[in-house]
Amino acid sequence: MRCEMCGRETELYRAIIEGSQLTVCNSCAKYGKITGRFTEAAAETRDNRKEAKKISDEPLESVVSNFGEILKKKREELGMTHKDFAAKIAEKESVLRKLETGSVKPTLERARQLERMLGIRLVEELKDEPIENQKSSSAVTLGDVVKIKIRKKG
- Please say which residue, 3 or 118, places its beta carbon nearer to Zn ion: 3
Q: Tell me how far, at minimum, the Cβ of 16 lies from Zn ion, in Å.
A: 15
- Please say which residue, 28 or 63, places its beta carbon nearer to Zn ion: 28
- Please say which residue, 25 or 111, places its beta carbon nearer to Zn ion: 25
Which residue(s) pair with 62 in the sheet? 124
Q: Tell me how far, at minimum, the Cβ of 43 lies from Zn ion, in Å.
A: 17
Q: Tell me how far, at minimum, the Cβ of 7 lies from Zn ion, in Å.
A: 7
Q: Tell me how far, at minimum, the Cβ of 39 lies from Zn ion, in Å.
A: 17
Give the binding-site size for Zn ion (rule: CB under 5 A).
Answer: 6
- Please say which residue, 19 or 154, places its beta carbon nearer to Zn ion: 19
- Please say which residue, 22 or 122, places its beta carbon nearer to Zn ion: 22
With residue 87 as reference, give the H or E element that holds it. Answer: helix 82-88
Alpha-carbon 129 to chain mean position: 7
C-alpha torsion 143→61→71→68, nearest 10: -110
Nearest to 132 by CA among 120, 117, 148: 148
With residue 109 as reference, give the H or E element that holds it. Answer: helix 108-118
Nearest to 74 by CA among 48, 100, 103, 93: 100
CA distance 118 to 136: 41
Q: Tell me how far, at minimum, the Cβ of 26 lies from Zn ion, in Å.
A: 8
Of 2-41, binders to Zn ion (CB under 5 A) are: 3, 5-6, 8, 25, 28
Instruction: Note the residues at the interface with Zn ion (CB under 5 A).
Output: 3, 5-6, 8, 25, 28
